[in-house]
Structure 1
Amino acid sequence: MSPKRDREDGSNDGKPQHERKPKEEVTHPRKRFYRARAHSNPLNVADFDVPTRPDDLDWSEHFPEFLQEWRDRQQQQQQQQEAGAAAGPSSSETPAVRFVDIGCGFGGLLVKLSTIYPDTLMLGMEIRDKVSAYVRERIAALRREQPGSYRNASVLRTNAMKYLPNYFKKGQLTKMFFLFPDPHFKAANHRRRIINTHLLTEYAHLLAPGGWLYTISDVPELGEWMKAKLEAHPLFERVSEEELEADPAAGLLALSSEEGQKVARNGGATYRNVYRRLAAPRKVAPAAADAEAEADA
C-alpha cells in the first residue's frame, strides 16, 4: 500500500512505517466452545456461592477500572477541599449496579447497553456455567481491545429466580431485562417462569420508582402470560409506545440477543411488554385479579 493510500485510510495516523506501534491482537472467545443446554431448571440449580446480603459482595472484582476511577475522583475532590480550592459536585455514595439482564445468554444486550450508557454499571445474570464463562471472556476481550470501554459491564453466574435480593438493595435497580425467557410450556412447569406474581413483587421491591421492566418473547402464549401478570400487578403500569420509541434500550430487545436474531432470521414475530414501576400501588380491576389468582393456582 502506498504512503498516500495509507494516509487516506488512516491506518497509520500519518506516521512512517518504522514509527508504527504494533497493534495488540485480541482473541475473542468462540461460542462453539461454550455451548450448553438451552435452559436449566431454576428450581434445582444452586451449585455456586451466594452472598448473604448485598453489602457482602465486592463489586470491584467486576468493575475494577470504573470503581478505581471513582475513588480517584473522590480523593482528588477531598484534597481540593482540604486545600480550600473550589471543587465540583461530588457524591460519597459508591456507584452501584443499576441495570440487570436476567438470563443474559451470550451477552449481546449487555454489550450494546454498555456503550449506550457508559456511566451506568450493569450486570448480566446467567444460570448456565459455560455461557456465563463465555460472557466473562467476551467482556474481558472487549476491554483489552478498546481500553476505557465496556468497563461498566460484567456478568455473574447465579440463580436469579432465587437469589436476587442477595445481590441488590431495595430500590437499587432502574432497568430489568427479561429477553426470550424459557416458556416452560407444560402447565405443571409454569411455576418455573421468570415472570409470575410472586417474582414481580420481588422485582418491584428492587426497582426504584419509575424504573422499567422489559420483557420480550417469540412465544405468543408466553407473551400474553407476561402481559397479563404485569397488568394484574398493582405496582406496575404499561409504558406507552411513544415512550418506547424514545428509549434506546427498548429498541435493542428484539435483535441484540442470539435468540432474537434467530427469530428474525426465521421471520418470526415477537411480543414486547415494557412496564414502569409505580411509586404507589394502583387499583387493579377485580376481573384481572381473579384471573391472576386462577392462573397461579
Structure 2
Amino acid sequence: MAGAPKKRQKRDESKQEEGQMPQKKFYRQRAHANPFSDHDLTYPASPAAMDWSQHYPAFATTTPSSIPTHDPRTTPPDPNNEIQVPQISQQVQIADIGCGFGGLLFALAPKMPSTLILGLEIRTSVTEFVQEKAKALRLQHASSGLYRNVSCIRANTMKFLPNFFVKGQLSKIFLCFPDPHFKARKHKARIVSGTLNSEYAFVLAAGGRVYTITDVEDLHLWIAKHFEGHASFERVGEEELEGDECVETMRRETEEGKKVERNGGRKFVVVFRRLEDPPCP
C-alpha cells in the first residue's frame, strides 16, 4: 500500500501553472541548521567564477568573462585552459544573510528596483521557496519589471562568504533574527563574532552598513559588543536611523518580525557603519 505523498511530490503537484505563488506549507524545514556540518553545497572558487546570470537574467550581458582553470602564477596563459563565465551588468550590493522565507527581500526589491539584492540561506527547502517566489513575482509583474533584482542562493556564509563577493562589493548586510544559540557551548555558531565581523568588513564598502535585529536581548548585547569591539565598525546613532527606510522595513516585513509583533515581544535593532581603512604606513 502506497504511503502518503512526500512533501516534494505535494509541492510539485501544487504548481498548477507558471507564475503561481509557492505555498509555504510545502517548504517547511526545521529552523536550526548546524553551520559546522559538511552540507552538500555548491560554491564558486572565487567571485569571478560565479554565474550570476542565472539568478538575475534581466541583467545578463552578452559578453562572458574568461576564467583560467590553472594557476596563472605558475602556468602561462592558455585560451584552451579557460572557462567562459556569463556576466551581469552590475554587482550584487545588498545581502540578507539567513534570509528565511524572504520577507525582507521581497519588501526591499520594489523599493530599490535598480539594486541587486541577494538572500543567502542554508536550508534547502527554504531556499527553493524563495527562488520559486521570485520567479512567480517576476512573471506577475513582467510589465513593470519589478522583482527581477532579487534572488536567493543556498550558502553557508560562515564558511564561504568571500567566495561570492569581492572586497568592498556590498553596501548593506542584513542579519535578521539570527539563531540565538542560547547555550554557551553553542555561541561559536552565532553569526556575529570577531572573526566573522572581519569577513563582513572585507565585503562591505566604506560607509556600508550592517543591519541587525533580534528579539533576544542577550543576543542583541552580544552583537553590539562584538561590532563595537571591532576596529572596522562604528555604531550608527538612533537619530541617524530615523530616516533610514531599511530599519522600518526590517522591523515589519520579516516573518520573525511579524511573529514577534503578534506575540507582543520586543525587537532590538542596532546598525553599524563600515569605517574607512587607515592608510598604509
Task: Work out whether the TM-score is over 0.5.
Answer: yes
Residue aligning to 2:90: 95
In structure 1, the partner of 2:243 is 246
User: How much has 1:66 moved relative to structure 2?
Assistant: 2.5
Between the aligned partners of 2:258 and 2:106, the Cα distance in structure 1 is 15
- State the secondary structure of the residue aligned to 1:221: helix
Counterpart-to-counterpart distance in 2, 1:55 and 1:103: 23
Deviations 1:154-180 (A, max 9, x none): 000011111000000000000000000
Aligned to 1:255, what secondary structure does the other structure show? helix
Size of the aligned set, in residue pairs, is 237
Q: Is the contact made by 1:46 and 1:158 (CA closer than 8 Å) also made in structure 2?
A: no
- Residue in structure 2 matching 1:115, options 107, 110, 129: 110
The partner residue of 1:212 within 181, 195, 209 is: 209
Structure with the larger helix share? 1
Aligned residue for 2:53, secondary structure, equals helix
Matched, 1:143 2:138: yes
Q: CA deviation at 1:46?
A: 2.4
Structure 1 runs of 4+ off > 6 angstroms? none
Matches within 5 A, 1:213-232: 213-232=210-229
Aligned to 2:128: 133
The equivalent residue for 2:171 is 174
Q: Secondary structure at the match of 2:60?
A: helix
Residue pair 2:59, 2:89 contacting (<8 A) in 1 also: no
Counterpart contact for 1:127–1:157, Cα < 8 Å: yes
CA distance in 2, matches of 1:273, 1:242: 12
Quote the sequence identity (%): 50
From 27, 31, 45, give the equivalent of 2:24: 31
1:13-51 CA distance string (max 9 Å, x none): xxxxxxxxxxx9841001100000011011114211111
Unaligned stretches of 5+ residues in structure 1: 1-23, 73-92, 282-297
**Equivalent AA in structure 2 for residue 35 of structure 1:** R
CA-CA distance at 1:240 after TM superposition: 1.6
Once residues 138 and 184 of structure 2 are traced to their aligned partners in structure 1, the CA distance between those partners, rounded to angstroms, is 43
- In structure 1, the residue matched to 2:199 is 202
Which one of the candidate residues 135, 154, 157 is aligned to 1:157?
154
After superposition, the C-alpha distances for 1:60-98 in whole angstroms (9 at most, x for unaligned) are 111011335xx69xxxxxxxxxxxxxxxxxxxx940000
2:47 match: 54
Q: Distance in 2 between matches of 1:27 and 1:280?
A: 47
The Cα RMSD (Å) is 1.7
Q: Which amino acid is 1:67 matched to?
A: A
Per the normalisation by structure 2, the TM-score is: 0.81
Match of 1:40 among 33, 37, 56: 33
Which structure: larger Rg? 1
Find the aligned partners of 1:25 and 1:202 in 2 and give their Cα distance: 39
Cα displacement string for residues 174-211 of structure 1 (whole angstroms, at most 9, x for unaligned residues): 00000000000110110000000000011001100000
Partner Cα separation in structure 2 for residue 25 and residue 188 of structure 1: 46
Distance 1:184 1:261, change over 3 A: same
Matches within 5 A, 1:261-280: 261-280=258-277
TM-score by length of 1: 0.77
Q: Is the 8 A contact 2:98 2:176 kept in 1?
A: yes
Matched position secondary structure for 2:100: coil
Distance 1:60 1:167, change over 3 A: same
Comparing 38-47 with 194-203, greater Cα deviation is found at 38-47
